[in-house]
Amino acid sequence: MLSRVADSLYWMSRYMERTDGILRMLRINYASSQDDLQNFSWKPVLSIFTYLDPGGAAAIAHRSRAVLQYMVTDRENSNSVLNIVTHARENARSVQDHITKELWQCLNDFYHTIRDEQIVRGLYADDPVSILDVLIRQGVLYYGITDITMARGEGYAFLNIGKFIERGVQSADILAVRFSDTQFDSSLTDPSYWKYLLLSISGFEYYLKTYRSGFDARNVVEQIVLSANFPRSILYSVSRLQLHFQRLKGDGNREAFQRIEFMIGKIHSKVQYSTVYSILNQGLHSFLISIKEDLSEVGNALNQYYFAYT
């Protein structure tokens, strides 16, 4: 397929995954902010998903409506949901002949929804959770339509490669930010802290079923980094990345394929053959940073070997 098309599909998918992550984060954190005895701080969320400097972040960190406004509909925020959905939709628009008509229409609808005046107003005047749910559902539609209608060809492979790279990076970010805020002592933070962290990545129920005995930071690390069954874990993301990358084998460009296959394999082994103990020994923060860097290198290599068309 055209390099430009592969590039557009890859980024469209990354943007949609990012949108999903942001919306879920916002939804849960808003609920948490309504529950907090101390002054709830949005700083961690802002530092994962925006490029605000510490001063700018501090200005709105305690004002939920302002954060929602900035992160969902602010045109000046390059990572606002509005801008990201617009980018995804424009990408889809420029490769319409490579996605199904249903998929294009779904993104087009999402684009029009988030620009709807009623949405904007509802977010600031009414119950924001209802609005966020509307937007999350649009994102879920996108996943469903992609799964059901897209042919399993090269395009589908690039969509998934983008999705799982973005997911891996997001999960690493979420863990890194949370844990840099606290000293690593599992008894220090109160249980609702872990509850909301897990809720924001839809991992609460899984945790309860797997680790019945209350909240322990070590278990949270194990679930988010090492679990093969939890769909947002880093191990899961990298495994799926590896699987979907295999689909590109035999499409010419053998040297490039082997190089990137090697890089992905290394990351997979690094995660698969770690234990909570080994990670904490190395330092959780430095482990997560190294994973992020490795994934970023894979992205660069994809750019260099598959997408370069200028």
Partner 1 sequence: MQTTELLNNYLVDPNTWDEMYSLSSVRHQYEGVVGVLQQMSVEELNKKEELAKRLFMSQGITFTVYSSGEGIEKIFPFDIIPRIITAGEWNYIETGITQRLKALNLFLKDVYNNQFILKDGIVPCDIVYSCPHFLREMHGFPVPYDIYVHIAGIDLIRDADGTFYILEDNLRTPSGVSYMLENREITKRLFPDLIPKNKVRTVTEYPAILHRNLSSLSPRQTSQPTIVLLTPGIYNSAYFEHTTLARLMGVELVEGRDLVVDNHRVYMKTTGGLQQVDVIYRRVDDYFLDPLVFQPDSLLGVAGIMSAYRKGNVAIVNAVGNGVADDKAIYAFVPAMIRYYLNEEPILKNVPTYQLGNPDERDYVFSNMNRMVIKKTNESGGYGMLMGHSATDEEIHRYQQEIVKDPRQFIAQPIISLSSAPCYMNGRLKPRRVDLRPYALCGPEGIRIVPGGLTRVALREGSLVVNSSQGGGSKDTWVLAN
Residues at the contact surface with partner 1, assessed by CB under 8 A:
1-4, 6, 90, 93-94, 96-97, 101, 104-105, 108-109, 112, 154, 248, 251-253, 306-307, 309-310
Q: Tell me the C-alpha distance between 116 and 118, whole Å.
A: 5
Nearer to partner 1, 108 or 219 (CB): 108
Closest CA to 46 of 17, 88, 80: 80
Closest CA to 122 of 135, 110, 109: 135
Nearer to partner 1, 192 or 253 (CB): 253
Dihedral in degrees, nearest 10, Cα atoms 300, 301, 304, 306: -120
Nearer to partner 1, 57 or 161 (CB): 161
Q: How many residues does the chain have?
A: 310
Q: Tell me the C-alpha distance between 123 and 129, whole Å.
A: 8
At its nearest, how many Å lie between partner 1 and the CB of residue 5? 8
Nearer to partner 1, 113 or 290 (CB): 113
At its nearest, how many Å lie between partner 1 and the CB of residue 250? 9
End-to-end CA distance of the chain: 16
At its nearest, how many Å lie between partner 1 and the CB of residue 58? 29
Contact 163, 243 (CB under 8 A): no
Nearer to partner 1, 76 or 147 (CB): 76
At its nearest, how many Å lie between partner 1 and the CB of residue 157? 10
At its nearest, how many Å lie between partner 1 and the CB of residue 244? 14
